[in-house]
A and B are shown apart, each in its own frame.
Chain A
Amino acid sequence: GNSVTQMEGPVTLSEEAFLTINCTYTATGYPSLFWYVQYPGEGLQLLLKATKADDKGSNKGFEATYRKETTSFHLEKGSVQVSDSAVYFCALSPNQAGTALIFGKGTTLSVSS
């Protein structure tokens, strides 16, 4: 079946530190991969996506590369800010009829100044 596994949190960093949040997936076929972010009290919003192997998604200084050989889509940012504090969800779309986005359990990031 299709599933997403992401690292447990919380992740606590100081401002300007390097961020990596690991995400691996299991899927049949050719899925699309996503990172969504949820700020406190809000719904999820799309951060970045990649639709095929070796694609790199990027947005707001965050980036992730679709690695088919390692079935991974790790999220990275070179220098985090306090405003990046949020919950980050890795997600997979199987791109098959009768399916919907499948989310990981989320990783809480807390950045302090």
Chain B
Amino acid sequence: DSGVTQTPKHLITATGQRVTLRCSPRSGDLSVYWYQQSLDQGLQFLIQYYNGEERAKGNILERFSAQQFPDLHSELNLSSLELGDSALYFCASSVGTARAGGGELFFGEGSRLTVL
């Protein structure tokens, strides 16, 4: 058990809909990262927050947004969903930023999104 909790574990929805994925980081970790894992693209970095502020941005679509709340949990919002958004979405956390923490991330078990 990594200590990172993601909900829901599975989600099935239709094209055009909007969903929210939730992540609670390990106790004491200030950084939260979101990654998308698909068969063809592998593990793609989406976005990172550190203590409530956006710190790094990767290949995140404009239809997607995220935030980190004062209690350090994070939410990833996916809107106007398309079939190609079907993937496993991972949240990870770390004590500091990638620069400060040496890059060790602790991953949740992921939220599997299926768009029909």
Q: Which residues of A contact B (CB under 8 A)?
A: 32, 34, 41-46, 49, 51, 89, 91, 93-106
Contacts and interface: CB of A to CB of B under 8 A. Distances in A.
A103 B42 contact: yes
A44 B33 contact: no
Given A100-B58, A101-B105, A103-B42, A43 B110 contact: yes
A98 B98 CA distance: 9
Contact of A93 (B2, B90, B102): B102
A96 B102 CA distance: 11
Given A100-B33, A102-B45, A41 B109 contact: yes
A89 B35 CA distance: 14
Given A49-B103, A98-B56, A43 B98 contact: no
A67 to B, nearest CB: 18
Contacts, number: 69
Interface of B: 2, 4, 33, 35, 42-43, 45, 48, 55-58, 90, 92, 97-99, 102-110
Contacts of B58: 100
B111 to A, nearest CB: 11
Contacts of B103: 32, 34, 49, 91, 93, 95, 101
